[in-house]
Amino acid sequence: MIETIINKSDVGSFYKCLKEEFTVYGVKEKEEGFYVFDETDEFADPLDDYKPTILPPKKYLFPQQETLLRFETQPQPVIQPVIESKKQILFGVRPCDIHGINLLDRIFSSDHEDLNYTRKRAETVIIGMNCLRPCYEHAHCASVGCLDVDDGYDIMMTDIGSSFHLSIKTPMGQEIFDRYANLVEVSNEDRDKFRKLIKERIDKFEMKFATDVSNLPLLFKNADNDPVWDELNDRCLGCGRCNIVCPTCYCFDVFDCMELNMTSGERCREWDACTLKDFAVVATGENFRSTRGQRQRHRFNRKFNYLMTKYNTSFCVGCGRCVRSCPVNIDIVETVNAVIKNNKAEVK
């Protein structure tokens, strides 16, 4: 890990230079208080304060809709895989979203490698932006162990006042920094300031769960009949928004689009959501999770039990997007704490 400094006044030119070689996606304010990752011409400076973007940056690695292959049925059947990628930089990514991408890396590269994802990921440079205080009331990143991030980024920026401290993590991070910016020796003063800010920030982040996150798989395993699912059954609208905005949800549906000639077409995928009514319908017509309460129970078990047991890490990274997006204010922290309260005998 190499440490360097960039003056705030030089970030704009660094950003512009990156655009010579990469498509650069930065953060911009779409409307008051709502931010998006988008291809921006210039470095805007909401980075210090921006709340989690409406959609997470995973959309550049796993797009909402994507063509997987093109096919023709006549005169001979022909199938042509479509795998698109380009050199891109995600600029200003928060630690929670880097954790989200790290989880998707594991999902899409284990068992059956998903080339549509891994090729994009291989060409993506991530420049992170450390959080020194909670970005908004729904953030619970510290509660799920996602405030600090050790890997998954190339460069991490930390605001230390008139400049950013940069931790350069990878050879790619080093290469682009060497090419586009001037390495400035980190003074002892800068280094001390950086260390102090990182050390002191932890007290600003509340631990919002009533138990350590590592206890959650056991609690959820024994909570199949918890009354909280009945309550969510009554409240949830089954709209799917909580899944769609989540940086770790990765379910997708696959469908074919035929041309009018009915001999050629495309096979596409698009994001799906386990909270939608038809998600668990099978070919014979049965629906294994026909009620909204069952679907919520499944959603929470995916975050804190099934995948957490398999990968030994929480599949909620604490961004709070699902809470902000829910039209009936279903709050993931409240639900987790209700499960903890009702099942606490399970935890020694």
Q: Which of 144, 13, 35, 175 is nearest to 92 (CA)?
A: 35
- Is 275 a residue that touches ligand SF4 (CB under 6 A)? yes
- Is 338 a residue that touches ligand SF4 (CB under 6 A)? no
Torsion of CA 65, 110, 322, 126, to 10 degrees: -80
Segment contacting ligand SF4 by CB under 6 A, of 113-121, 155-163, 217-225, 241-249: 241-249
Neighbours of 113 (CB within 10 A): 11
Number of residues that bind ligand SF4 (CB under 6 A): 26
Distance CA 282, CA 294 (A): 16
- Is 95 a residue that touches ligand SF4 (CB under 6 A)? no
Instruction: Give the residue, chosen from 92, 95, 152, 247, that forms a contact with ligand SF4 under the rule CB under 6 A.
Output: 247
Q: Provide the 3-class DSSP secondary structure of residue 69.
A: strand
Distance CA 156, CA 186 (A): 15
Distance CA 257, CA 309 (A): 37
Instruction: Give the residue, chosen from 20, 327, 345, 348, that forms a contact with ligand SF4 under the rule CB under 6 A.
Output: 327
H-helix or E-strand containing 12? helix 8-18
| Closer residue to ligand SF4 (CB): 63 or 238 | 238
- Is 131 a residue that touches ligand SF4 (CB under 6 A)? no
Neighbours of 217 (CB within 10 A): 19
| Closer residue to ligand SF4 (CB): 168 or 216 | 216
Segment 211-240, which members bind ligand SF4 (CB under 6 A)?
Answer: 236-240
| Closer residue to ligand SF4 (CB): 289 or 321 | 321
Q: How far is the CB of 29 from ligand SF4 (least distance, A)?
A: 20
Torsion of CA 325, 326, 331, 336, to 10 degrees: -100
Instruction: Give the residue, chosen from 57, 128, 217, 320, that forms a contact with ligand SF4 under the rule CB under 6 A.
Output: 320
Would you tell me which residues interact with ligand SF4 (CB under 6 A)?
236-242, 245-248, 275, 303, 316-322, 325-328, 330, 332
